[in-house]
Amino acid sequence: MINEVAENKEIAQQYKELLRISYRRLTNSDKKLIRLAFDVAVDAHKDQRRKSGEPYILHPISVAKIVADEIGLDSTSIASALLHDVIEDSKYTIKDIKIKFGNSVSKIVHGLTKISNLKKDKYDSLQAENFRKMLLTLNDDVRVIIIKIADRLHNMKTLDSLPKHKKEKIASETLFIYAPLAHRIGLYNIKSELEDLGLKYTDIRRYNQIKNKIEKSKERQDHYIKKFSLMVRRTLNKEDFKYDIIGRSKSIYSIHSKMETQSIPYESVFDKFAIRIIYDSDIANEKFIAWKIYSIVTDHFTPNPTRLRDWITAPKSTGYEALHITVSGPENQWVEVQIRSKRMNEIAEKGYAAHYKYKQKNKKDIGIESWLDRLQELLKSNSVDAIDFVDDFKLSLYSEEIFVFTPNGDLISMRKGSTALDFAFNIHTEIGVKTRGIRVNQKLVPLSSVLSSGDQVEIITSDAAKPNINWLNFVVTSKARSKIKSSLNEQKKVTANYGEEILKRKLKHLKIKLNEKVAELMIKHFKLRTSLDLFYLVGIGSIDNEKIRDFSSNYNNKFISFFKNKLKYDSLRINKKANNESNKLVFGNEQQSLIYNLSSCCNPIPGDPVFGFITVSEGVKVHKKGCSNAMSMQSKYAYRIIAAKWITSVSDTFVSNIKITGIDNIGLVNEVTRVISNIMNVDIFKINFIANDGIFEGNVGVKVSNKTIVNKAIKKIEKIKGIEKVTRE
């Protein structure tokens, strides 16, 4: 039974909390704006409830609190957050919002409504093209995306009321897109929250393991931070600095990522927390004090010279500024020390919003704005495939940066790993497509040369130059790739028009009229994707007279075509029957038997948590839930994911690969093979060991019936003297 009095009290309490957070820095007109937005939101959502059963109005209030407190945005943003679902869920229109709140709020609310409507496709999934359209709202106001990230954070915090498959879909989508997007906008705290919650709903077992270990080690960590602080405080105090020293654990997801990428246990992750020294300073002395503190810390502790990160001299494009050093601290433990001013710390905590505030005061340029401009140019280009765009965009979100110079001495920020040709397209598309050669530090270099920070780059252009297909192998940035593809497509269209005319004449000679149906049959015959590919291959002569006559023969002999198709159908039916007779997996809630293949990217075996992915041409592919491609598939193609369950008999065998590293000893290979051979139901079918300077790497391919047997083999191998690490690939 609903207790309206208790609910109204809770709504009032949450609203008061929002006011307490935001009123400290708002004018009277700001307060009136927020109050009006709250009243409209309450009226719009008065009869609505969330899946959990609570009043819906609590959701926009919570999003507004995140916007106000964790991000620190203005009253316009807070009001927009309160109103972000009003148009979608009530009688209010965008015109009503504009009349009541003005242009700024209505523009943001309209952008948020467009994003919400994108998800209402027939698959209820965030598709690649929809994501591209969502990012186009950045053109309206970057606050649209920031509020959307806050909305996603609150939704992630309240996922428990949803069914398991929806939790996994939303969590995968969050890890794939929203967490990297928060990172790129500089919302590092929110990024960490999104990642931790994403891991919680995609791998609860791993999440709880790491969480419990962090909590158990907290007392030891606090003691370590205190010990470190005592050793540097005396010297810092002598300099009369105003500062704080705090310690912060790395996020659960960050530790998980290190364990995954390095194939190491929790205990082997050496930098599980960082120490921050946050000092008070005016802007004129910020850099001087930072390096002074650096000098004091490195006087006490030996620094790792390869781990110095100077983001004060050259800030990240997100606006992030700090000095990061890794030192050998007390007890010879490696520890990361981050040195930042209070201003830098606020930017690190609140990202774009804080940077924007300081820019207003200091008229400094913000790197993120140039990134947003480049993103807009890419978004508006239809020359890049939507799926490629999402993949390239995700890479650009997390990428580190380098800084290179033009011949005039201008400093250009680029993604780490960028090539000389990427630089040309970064300067201007027209320069990129006309690139004839490139000089780096006054030396002529290949177009594919990877740039480093500090390089000076000069582009040599020619009107006769034009991109070729190999250029796609020379670039890593989305902008360069899309512009090269666009230029190649233009060239391809010209050749295809020529090829279409040739094909018409040749088919006419064979008494076949080229129409849509014939073109479709030819595309299937030559295993192509589009008519453009067909005409282009005719234009360049790859599909010659002999191949066209071969198609004509099949086209005219309809009886043979029918007979071939019947044989193909009968073969498929027999294969399906044979597969079902020895079926090892069932799919969906009804536990259906379907034709499937085990994916080679993760080699799932019985006992592994798995799912089915419906491919376009290869039927159902089965992947491990922890597969490196799983997050991408869940995010982009959730409607093609189906649940899968093992029902394996003991006689079934599956391929698995065991990777072994360690110190090379005489007889080690014999010992490894002996240990594996002694385990029941394990068959070694492949073994490969390479030794180099006393270290070896080995791969052992085994056939087993389930995951338990593989794990047993791994544990026994780990006990062999000289073995450093054993993992299953």
Burial 516-528 (b: 16+ CB within 10 A, else e): eeebeebeeebeb
* Residue numbers annotated as active site: 88-89
| Cα 583 from Cα 648, distance rounded (Å) | 8
192 pLDDT band (50/70/90 cuts)?
Answer: very high
φ, ψ at 316 (rounded to 5°): -65, 160
Question: What would the two tokens of residue 220 be?
Answer: 């030891």
Question: What would the two tokens of residue 440 be?
Answer: 């780096």
| Cα 486 from Cα 478, distance rounded (Å) | 12
DSSP 646: E
Instruction: Name the 3-class secondary structure at 667.
Output: coil
Question: What would the two tokens of residue 565 be?
Answer: 């198709």
Asked whether the beta carbons of 500 and 463 are under 8 A apart, the reply is no
The residues that bridge with 341 in the sheet, in sequence order, are: 279
- Per-residue confidence (pLDDT) for residue 349, from 0 to 100: 80
DSSP 463: T
Asked whether the beta carbons of 251 and 318 are under 8 A apart, the reply is no
- The per-residue pLDDT for range 507-550, each reduced to its tens digit, is 888 888 888 888 888 888 888 888 888 888 888 888 888 888 88
DSSP 477: S
Asked whether the beta carbons of 479 and 370 are under 8 A apart, the reply is no
- Per-residue confidence (pLDDT) for residue 710, from 0 to 100: 83
The distance from CA 667 to its chain's CA centroid, rounded to whole angstroms, is 44
Q: Which CATH architecture has domain 654-728?
A: 2-Layer Sandwich (3.30)
Q: How is 298-350 classified by DSSP, letter by letter?
A: HHHSEE-GGG-EETTTS--TT----EEEEEE-GGG-EEEEEEEEHHHHHHHHH
Nearest to 481 by CA among 399, 562, 426, 551: 426
Find the mean pLDDT for residues 132-153: 75
Q: Domain coordinates of the chain in residue numbers? A: 4-202, 212-362, 580-646, 654-728
- The per-residue pLDDT for range 592-607, each reduced to its tens digit, is 777 788 888 888 888 7
* Element containing residue 247 per DSSP (H, E): strand 243-249
**To the nearest whole number, what is the mean pLDDT of the chain?**
81
- The per-residue pLDDT for range 217-229, each reduced to its tens digit, is 888 888 888 888 8
Question: What would the two tokens of residue 330 be?
Answer: 């007390």
The residues that bridge with 244 in the sheet, in sequence order, are: 278
* Element containing residue 654 per DSSP (H, E): strand 654-663
The CA–CA distances, whole Å, from 77 to 81, 91, 296, 505 equal 6, 22, 42, 63
Give the relative orientation of helices 58-65 and 28-44 as an angle to the nearest 10 degrees. Answer: 150
Q: How is 104-142 classified by DSSP, letter by letter?
A: HHHHHHHHHHHHHHHT-STT-S--HHHHHHHHHGGGT-H
The residues that bridge with 540 in the sheet, in sequence order, are: none
**Which CATH code is given to the segment(s) 4-202?**
1.10.3210.10
Nearest to 610 by CA among 643, 650, 647: 643
Task: Name the percent of the chain lying above pLDDT 70.
Answer: 83
- The per-residue pLDDT for range 267-318, each reduced to its tens digit, is 888 777 789 999 999 989 999 999 999 999 999 999 988 888 898 988 877 7
Pick left, alpha or beta for residue 72 (phi over 0 → left; psi -120 to 50 → alpha; otherwise beta): left
- The per-residue pLDDT for range 377-399, each reduced to its tens digit, is 555 555 455 555 555 555 555 56
Residue spans of alpha helices (H) in 158-285 = 164-173, 179-185, 188-202, 204-216, 218-238, 252-262
**Which CATH code is given to the segment(s) 212-362?**
3.30.460.10
Burial 400-420 (b: 16+ CB within 10 A, else e): ebbebbeeeeeebbbbeebbb
Find the mean pLDDT for residues 254-264: 86
| Residues sharing a CB contact under 8 Å with residue 471, sequence separation 6 or more, in sequence order | 421, 447, 484
Furthest C-alpha separation in the chain: 97
Residue spans of alpha helices (H) in 25-93 = 28-44, 58-65, 75-82, 86-89
The CA–CA distances, whole Å, from 94 to 51, 109, 117, 527 equal 26, 8, 14, 49
| Cα 644 from Cα 639, distance rounded (Å) | 14
